[in-house]
Structure 1
Amino acid sequence: MEKFIKYSLQLPADFSTDRFNYTLASVEHMKLLIEESSSLKESDLSNGDVFNFIERFIKENSLSLREVETFVLHLEMAQILGGNKYFTNIIFGVELLRLIGVYIYCFEKDVADDLLADKINVLSITTIFGIHDFSDTEKFKYRQNHQQVMARTLMLENPGSARGIEKRNEAHDADWQKQIEMAGYFQHGMNGHYTKIIADTIRMLRLGT
């Protein structure tokens, strides 16, 4: 008989919050960590649309509980380095781009290096939140999810790097630009520098850690 009994405890990949709704354990873990964080609990990160964007990172990349903890740790760092306002009461589109920057810093070192070197491949960014090509964002539709809007925003700013799109349509591009502005993702008159927001987030974390 062995002197010590070795065992491991593994949380289920999902659990039921009621009979019909199943939530990934990592998504629920993320939510709890944000709510319990002294630096993030007053942020916008647990709010519906913002958290839904975070949830897309988790599901699309099958983040483990440990990876979720790493992600939250770096969100806390960004919030603190940004004067405890980096994810608090800011323009919605800017907040989503900053989230993308933190994720890339945590888990996509090669993409981070390329962005800081101004080598931009839009799809290398958008795949992390589920946009693997631009076929379903080619023509603006009334109801687009936030992932599609962010993907199209980055593509419009970096048309030469948007590999995966077969043919540009200037009329569609103009419609998208107008609708993105009207939908309030960015401050009126803010046109461009979207990729820079991501790169600035990565740069801030590198300098501060």
Structure 2
Amino acid sequence: MSEQEDLTFEFRDDFKRVGIADKVITLLTTPIGISPMVIDGDWGTGKTEFCQKLIHKFRSEHGRYRLVYVDAFQADHADDPLMTVLAAVAGEALEGEAKRTFLQKAIPVVRYGLQTAFKASVSHVLKENADDIADGLEKHLQDSANKAIDASVAAVLKDHEKAQQNLKALQATLADQVTADSPIVIFIDELDRCRPDFAVQMLEVIKHTFDVVNVKFVLVTNTKQLRAAINHRYGPLVDAQRYLDKFLKFSVRLPADVSGRVGYGYGENRLLASVKHYSNLVSSSGILAGTGLGQTDKEYFTFASELIQVNQLSLRQVETFTRYLEVYHSLSRGLAPDETAGLRLLRLFGVFVSCFSPDVYDNIQSGCTNADVIAPLLGVPTLLPDNEETYHYSRKLAVIIGLQLVQNSAFNAEHFMFESEDSQECWKKGFDYYFGNRSVLSDIWQPVKEVFSVLSLSSR
């Protein structure tokens, strides 16, 4: 199976996103003014893979469309988003005489440094009316007695005028080559990973340079990070979302869940995409397959699933978690299958902490465990439920393991004690089941520390 074949929904669609792709393609092939469009998602949610599969599907179904892919993160070292997009369009969407003509018109645009013109004008043009700016400049020139300033302003205006002439020539050339029968769709990926100044300049280039009929843009990015980039560029007082609204026409957010079964309960639920990803990674791992870490062992899988959901791990973080499990399994006897379920799950928690919680790691190593910090990692409620809610929470495996940990922490353990004997008895049944009738272990942190020792490569 080739890498290109891998990037298709037919080969793999674990997160049931082909329907989203179909709708995106439908929108991009209608005359609705949705460009620039955003495919939004947090870091590590599989945006790039979705984009590649989307392009493959789009190309196979609509051959007349010319699709261009730009990895903005790979290009941001060049410090010229205009050049990046121009080169991509020339290289992937045009050929022959059309390509040569386009490049001839593109070179003067780059040479005159539209970026400089943008820096001087965009922050104002987006806030004020262009006519007002012209009036202000005219008044300034009339009132100023400083000939040096007059000359500098005149030079800037002359360069700006020349740049605009070249820009219009480039847009006209592109418009001649891009018709309703042969549109161009440009996908800009990884914009959220770029330097803030490069990311913002890319937005401005798209708006001001490529405002051409039958040319559409799709930004595959994390808009939360994009807003942060805007504030980094223009300051915290700028309303980043309103700024984005000036550029972006439509946004779709990749869902974090898929239809499926969660754990071993009854009924059809929404399965977190990250949990599904974890199951697939374990099943396909040459090291972890058959160890029970996947859905073949309900305790392992349920506990891992709850850790993933409570901490909202991204797909990329799940890959890190699985990699650490592979390392631990390779350097030890695994999660000690001969021990009680509770102790095995404590080792799984040790791998999780090694991956994502360095502060908790240090506190455990030093014996300064803080129940208030550890509880959120396992979804332990701040106030232990009583009466009718007790049974509901007592079924959560992560909470059962978590209560053992927080009640045996060096600090703030008193925040997680039971209020009634009935609640104590209800929870004790869970403790006894998983820890072999040992509700309080002599040193519950020892299995976790053993995991730390293995992963630090210091154990013998």
SS of corresponding position for 1:52 = helix
User: Which of 271, 279, 283 matches 1:35?
Assistant: 283
Q: 1:85-133 deviations in whole A, cap 9, x for unaligned?
A: 3254542101211111111110000110111011111232231121142
Residue 114 of structure 1 corresponds to 363
Residue 127 of structure 1 corresponds to 376
Residue 26 of structure 1 corresponds to 274
Answer yes or no: is 1:196 the counterpart of 2:449.
no
SS of corresponding position for 1:207 = coil
| Change beyond 3 A, Cα 1:41–1:107 | same
User: Which of 248, 259, 273 matches 1:16?
Assistant: 259
Deviation at 1:168, TM superposition (A): 6.1
SS of corresponding position for 1:7 = strand
Residue 350 of structure 2 corresponds to 101
CA distance in 2, matches of 1:99, 1:192: 19
| Change beyond 3 A, Cα 1:163–1:110 | farther
Q: Structure 2: which amino acid aligns with 1:91?
A: T
Answer yes or no: is 1:179 the counterpart of 2:429.
yes
CA distance in 2, matches of 1:49, 1:142: 18
Q: Is the 8 A contact 1:101 1:201 kept in 2?
A: yes
Deviation at 1:208, TM superposition (A): 5.5
Q: Is the 8 A contact 2:380 2:402 kept in 1?
A: yes
Answer yes or no: is 1:2 the counterpart of 2:86.
yes
CA distance in 2, matches of 1:50, 1:69: 17
Q: Is the 8 A contact 1:44 1:87 kept in 2?
A: no
Q: Is the 8 A contact 2:277 2:318 kept in 1?
A: yes
Deviation at 1:38, TM superposition (A): 1.2
Which is bigger in relative contact order (C-alpha 8 A, separation at least 6)? 1
Q: TM-score, normalised by structure 2?
A: 0.39
Q: Which range moved further: 49-58 or 171-180?
A: 171-180
Query: Mind listing any 5+ residue stretches in structure 1 that lack a counterpart?
Result: none
Please report the RMSD computed on the Cα atoms of aligned residues, expressed in angstroms.
3.4
User: Which of 377, 399, 403 matches 1:148?
Assistant: 399
Deviation at 1:134, TM superposition (A): 4.4
CA distance in 2, matches of 1:61, 1:208: 28
Residue 157 of structure 2 corresponds to none
SS of corresponding position for 1:194 = coil
Residue 45 of structure 1 corresponds to 293
Q: 1:151-178 deviations in whole A, cap 9, x for unaligned?
A: 222244347541534x666957974785
CA distance in 2, matches of 1:15, 1:149: 27
Higher CA-based Rg: 2
Query: Mind listing any 5+ residue stretches in structure 2 that lack a counterpart?
Result: 1-84, 89-185, 190-219, 222-253, 262-267
Q: Structure 2: which amino acid aligns with 1:43?
A: T
| Change beyond 3 A, Cα 1:82–1:17 | same
CA distance in 2, matches of 1:89, 1:43: 13
Q: TM-score, normalised by structure 1?
A: 0.79
Q: Is the 8 A contact 1:156 1:173 kept in 2?
A: no
CA distance in 1, matches of 2:329, 2:456: 14
CA distance in 1, matches of 2:457, 2:435: 27
Structure 1 vs Structure 2: percent identity of aligned residues? Answer: 26
Q: Is the 8 A contact 1:157 1:192 kept in 2?
A: no
| Change beyond 3 A, Cα 1:78–1:6 | same
Residue 58 of structure 1 corresponds to 308
CA distance in 2, matches of 1:16, 1:118: 42
CA distance in 2, matches of 1:38, 1:22: 28
Q: Which range moved further: 139-148 or 107-116?
A: 139-148
Q: Is the 8 A contact 2:257 2:271 kept in 1?
A: yes
Q: Is the 8 A contact 2:405 2:445 kept in 1?
A: yes
Would you say how many aligned residue pairs link Structure 1 and Structure 2? Answer: 205
Q: Structure 2: which amino acid aligns with 1:111?
A: V
SS of corresponding position for 1:112 = helix
